[in-house]
Structure 1
C-alpha cells in the first residue's frame, strides 16, 4: 500500500516532490496545509486532494496521514517538524532541516523516542549517478589517492533582484534562516561530505548582501592530505564543471545535482571514459526527486534503521559544517541566539 503523506509548503519544490512521489507509486498525497485555506484548496485540487487545512493542529491530528513532507521557509522547519513528530508522523524535511545543530539533535532524539523516521531530503545524493560516483571513487578507487576536488553550484535567483530592489525575500532573510550557503551551497557541501566524509576543518569567504545573509562565496573543506574548493552563489551563474583529482586521473561531473555525465580522464593512457548511467529527465521547472522518493519509501516500509542512520550521520555533519561556516562570518539566525 502507498504511504499516505501530507505537505506543508505549496511551492514549486513541493510540486516536484508530489510528481516524483506519484511516479514512484510508493506514495499517495493525502492532505495539504497552507496558512490560507483557499490556497490549500487550490493546490490540493491540482492533484485531486480534498483534505485541506489552514490549521497545523488539525492537519497533524488527521489519522489518515502517515508522513509529512515539509518545504516551508527554513526558519519554520524546526517547529513544524517537532509538531509532526509529536503527532507520530514520519517527517521528510527539506534542506536545510533546521537552523542549528541543537535543533537537529532535538528532532532526531524525538523521532527515536516516537519510533518513527526523520529524513532530511537531500535529493542529489540519492541520484543513481551520484551513487555511481561514490562507487568509482570509494569502492573501486578508480582515481587512487585523492589530490583534491572542486565543486560548483551557482545559479542567479530572481529573488536576488528583489534584494537589489530593496526587498527582503524569505530566502535572503536572517529571520527566516536564509542565505546562499543553506539554500544552494548546501548541495556541494553535502556532495563532498557524502563522498569524502567529515572534513578536518573548514573556512568560508562569503559575499554578504544588503539583508545580512550571504549571497554566495567560496568554501574550503580540509581533509587529510587534500582539500575541496566549493564555489556557490545565488547572485550569479556559473557553468563550471565539478572535478575530483587523483593520482590516476581526473573525474569531471556536469554538476552537483542532476548528474548526467561522469568522465574519467586517465593521464597515463590519455583515454577518457564515460561512466555515468542513464539519467532521468524531468520536465521543467520540476527537478528529479523520483530516486529519493523510492529510497525514502523503502526505508519507511522496511524500517531500515541502518540506511536512516547513515542519512542522519550525513545530516549531522552537514549542519555542523555549515553552522561553523556561518558563525565564522557573523551570519547569525534567531535560533543561534537562543
Structure 2
C-alpha cells in the first residue's frame, strides 16, 4: 500500500523528498504544483509525473490525493497547509512549519477537525543515529546527570553573497519569514527540544543582516540545572562538533544532521568509544530524507496517533522557542502582527 501525494515547491529540497520517498517505497508522486505551468512541468517530468496544477483550489480538490508535501517559502506555509488540510488531505510541511505559534495551533486544530495528519518535516530527528543518541541519553543514562550541551549548525550560504550585494533573497526576507534561526537554527533547537523537552526560558543574541533578519547568532536554552548553547548561522561558517556534557563523560556528535560519529569519552578511563551505527548518505545537493519518509509513511498508514502526538509536541515547542528567540533579537515578521 502506498500514499498518493503531490508537491508544492520546486526547489532542491523537494527533489530530495521525492527521491527519498521513492526509496522508501510507500509514496507515489501524483501531481506537482507551481505558480506557472512551465515550471511545474519542467520539475515534474524529471520524475515521470504528468499531472500539474497552478491552482491550489484545484490541487486541494483532487480526489486521488491522500497527502501533500509543502516546501514553499516560509511565509506561505500557513495558508497553503490550511487550504490542503481543510480539503481532508494529510500534509507533510517543511520546517519551519509556520511563522508563529498561533498559526501552528490553528493548523493542528484544523487537521484534527478534518481527521487528517499534519507532520513537520524535521529529517534529522528521524535519523537512526539521532534515535540512538536519544536512547543513550534518556534511557541508558550514559552521561548520568546532564551538565550542559552545545549544538551547532552554522553554514555560510551562497545567498548571503546576494544580501551583501544589496539583494533580498526570500530566505533573508522579513516578508517571507526568513532568517538564520528559522532556517538552520531550528536544527540545533529541535535537537535539544527532542532530547530535553521545552526549556524554561531562552535567550538569543543575533547579528542582523541589511535585510532585517538574523544572519546568525548564539542562543542559550535554559533547563533545570543546565544550559544548551545554540550556534547557528547562514552568514558565517563553523565546523565545531556538537557535544553533551554529563557526570559520566562527554558525548561528541559530528553535526546536528547526517550524524556519522557519536563518541563517548569516559573521564575515569580516559578512553573514547565510537557508538554510532552506519548512516545514510546521498549525493549533493540532495540530503538524506529517506528515514523520515519511511517513518512518516508508517505513521500515516498505521494511523499511529501516539507518534503523531509526540511530533506535534516537538513542533509546537520548537516554534515557541524560536519565536521568542528571534523577537528578542528584533526579528519581527508580518505574521507576528496578525
Q: CA deviation at 1:60?
A: 1.2
Q: CA deviation at 1:271?
A: 1.2
For residues 37-68 of structure 1, give each alpha carbon's deviation from its aligned partner in whole angstroms, at most 9, with x where no partner exists: 01101111000000101111111111111100
- Alpha-carbon distance between aligned partners in 2 of 1:105 and 1:280, rounded to the nearest angstrom: 33
Corresponding residue for 2:180?
180
Superposed counterparts of 1:239-254, under 5 Å = 239-254=239-254
- Alpha-carbon distance between aligned partners in 1 of 2:211 and 2:42, rounded to the nearest angstrom: 32
- Alpha-carbon distance between aligned partners in 2 of 1:4 and 1:210, rounded to the nearest angstrom: 42
Superposed counterparts of 1:180-219, under 5 Å = 180-219=180-219
TM-score relative to the length of structure 1: 0.99
- Alpha-carbon distance between aligned partners in 1 of 2:55 and 2:320, rounded to the nearest angstrom: 33
Other structure's SS at 2:47 match: coil
Other structure's SS at 2:83 match: helix
Q: CA deviation at 1:209?
A: 0.7
Q: CA deviation at 1:284?
A: 1.0
Verify: 1:69 aligned to 2:32, yes or no.
no
- Alpha-carbon distance between aligned partners in 1 of 2:31 and 2:87, rounded to the nearest angstrom: 15
Consecutive aligned runs of 4 or more in structure 1 exceeding 3 Å deviation: none
| Gap runs ≥5 in structure 1 | none
| Gap runs ≥5 in structure 2 | none
- Alpha-carbon distance between aligned partners in 2 of 1:42 and 1:59, rounded to the nearest angstrom: 18
Corresponding residue for 1:50?
50
Other structure's SS at 2:278 match: coil
Corresponding residue for 2:272?
272
Corresponding residue for 1:321?
321
Q: CA deviation at 1:236?
A: 1.2
- Alpha-carbon distance between aligned partners in 2 of 1:105 and 1:154, rounded to the nearest angstrom: 29
Across the aligned residues of Structure 1 and Structure 2, the Cα RMSD in angstroms comes to 0.5
Other structure's SS at 1:238 match: coil
- Alpha-carbon distance between aligned partners in 1 of 2:321 and 2:44, rounded to the nearest angstrom: 37
Verify: 1:170 aligned to 2:170, yes or no.
yes
Corresponding residue for 1:126?
126
Q: Which moved more, 1:323-332 or 1:226-235?
A: 323-332
Q: CA deviation at 1:2?
A: 1.0
- Alpha-carbon distance between aligned partners in 1 of 2:247 and 2:115, rounded to the nearest angstrom: 45
Corresponding residue for 2:260?
260
For residues 158-216 of structure 1, give each alpha carbon's deviation from its aligned partner in whole angstroms, at most 9, with x where no partner exists: 11100000000000000000000000000000000001111111000000010000000
Q: CA deviation at 1:138?
A: 0.6
Corresponding residue for 1:296?
296
Q: CA deviation at 1:281?
A: 1.3
Other structure's SS at 2:307 match: helix
- Alpha-carbon distance between aligned partners in 2 of 1:294 and 1:163, rounded to the nearest angstrom: 37
Other structure's SS at 1:211 match: coil
Corresponding residue for 2:22?
22
How many aligned residue pairs are there?
Answer: 338
Corresponding residue for 1:226?
226
- Alpha-carbon distance between aligned partners in 2 of 1:138 and 1:285, rounded to the nearest angstrom: 33
Q: Which moved more, 1:52-61 or 1:244-253?
A: 52-61
- Alpha-carbon distance between aligned partners in 1 of 2:230 and 2:85, rounded to the nearest angstrom: 34
Other structure's SS at 1:46 match: helix
- Alpha-carbon distance between aligned partners in 2 of 1:104 and 1:266, rounded to the nearest angstrom: 42
